[in-house]
Amino acid sequence: MKSKIAITLDEKIVEQLDYLVMRQMFKNRSQAIEEAVFEKLDRLKRGRLARECAKLDPVVEKELAEEGLRKDMDIWPEY
């Protein structure tokens, strides 16, 4: 489902959008703006994830992973 909104943009940005639409890189202004917003939101989300991952202590994460493996090894059948 899509929602209609009204936005105000700098004239130079509108000119650039119109140029891209004229070159058929986008069907219309709405498509160009929607893709730009989507990409920006995705970049922000990935940036937050990267910042959270940077907070992780690799030594602690390795210990947790190995602890989980040891528990799993106890229930795996012998081959």
Helix (H, G, I), strand (E, B) or coil at 71: helix
pLDDT at 72: 59
Least confident of 13-17, 21-25, 27-31, 70-74: 70-74
- Does any domain span residue 60? yes
- Does any domain span residue 4? no
Whole-model pTM: value is: 0.59
Is pLDDT of 64 > 80?
no
- Domain extent for 51: 11-75
User: Tell me: the pLDDT tens digits for 7-21?
Assistant: 999 999 999 999 999
- Does any domain span residue 52? yes
Q: Are 33 and 7 in contact (CB under 8 A)?
A: yes
Helix (H, G, I), strand (E, B) or coil at 10: coil
The number of distinct structural domains making up the chain is 1
* CA 36/CA 53 separation, integer angstroms: 26
pLDDT at 77: 67
- Does any domain span residue 66? yes
- Does any domain span residue 17? yes
- Does any domain span residue 57? yes
Share of the chain above pLDDT 90, in %: 52
- Does any domain span residue 15? yes
- Does any domain span residue 49? yes
